[in-house]
């Protein structure tokens, strides 16, 4: 497998949060037994596997229609992309089932999961870089309640929105 020298990832804090959600930090382990360190090492290997899989798939889009669709998604507001996805696919000659098959094959995600991941990447960036409150961000991204937003965000990143904001905003 060939690895590129430089891999462009738009949101490293999000990837770090995924890693932190899977493992304890080594300094927390202190004088625990060796197998605890092996657990951390195993979690890191899992993280690294997901990271490299993601990075490689960014370069390995095989179907030009999917590449074009991803370009449309990148150039459009998220809510527009959610509404226009199947229209764009139809314009590119892809029916719904063929779209799902090719999209999953080329990105590793279903179209809806891809948009969901993108949404939470944007939310994570808002938490780190904007002065909006968590409630305002929740409303901006169409969540029906702050409770549902917090629960979903924790599921996606391993941290509550408040903890995520505290942890990654301080690193700037």
Please spell the DSSP secondary structure of the chain, one letter per residue. Answer: ----S----S-HHHHHHHHHHHS--HHHHTT--HHHHHHHHHHHHHHHHHHHHHHHHHH----HHHHHHHHHHHHS-HHHHHHHHHHHHHHTT--HHHHHHHHHHHHSS-HHHHHHHHHHHHHHHHHHH----HHHHHHHTT-S-HHHHHHHHHHHHSS-HHHHHHHHHTT-
Per-residue pLDDT of the chain in tens (172 residues, 90 and over written 9): 444 444 455 555 666 666 666 555 555 555 555 555 556 566 666 777 777 666 655 555 578 899 899 989 989 888 888 889 999 999 999 999 999 999 988 888 899 999 998 899 899 989 988 899 999 999 999 999 999 999 999 998 888 999 988 888 755 4
Identify the CATH homologous superfamily for domain 116-169: Homeodomain-like (1.10.10.60)
Domain-wise residue ranges, the chain: 12-59, 64-108, 116-169
Distance from C-alpha of 156 to C-alpha of 74, rounded to nearest angstrom: 21
With a CB cutoff of 8 Å and minimum separation 6, the contacts of 96 are 86, 89
What integer pLDDT is reported at residue 108 of this predicted model? 82
């Amino acid at each position: 497998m060939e690895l590129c020298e430089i891999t462009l990832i738009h949101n490293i804090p999000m990837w770090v949060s995924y890693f932190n959600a899977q493992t304890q930090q080594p300094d927390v382990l202190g004088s625990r037994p060796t197998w605890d360190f092996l657990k951390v090492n195993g979690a890191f290997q899992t993280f690294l596997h997901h990271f490299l899989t993601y990075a490689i798939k960014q370069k390995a889009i095989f179907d030009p229609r999917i590449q074009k669709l991803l370009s449309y998604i990148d150039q459009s507001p998220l809510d527009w992309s959610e509404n226009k996805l199947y229209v764009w696919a139809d314009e590119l000659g892809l029916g719904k089932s063929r779209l799902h098959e090719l999209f999953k094959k080329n990105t590793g995600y279903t179209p809806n999961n891809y948009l969901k991941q993108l949404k939470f990447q944007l939310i994570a960036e808002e938490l780190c870089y904007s002065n909006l409150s968590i409630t305002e961000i929740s409303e901006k991204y169409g969540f029906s309640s702050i409770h549902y937003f917090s629960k979903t965000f924790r599921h996606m990143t391993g941290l509550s929105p408040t903890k995520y904001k505290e942890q990654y905003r301080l690193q700037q």
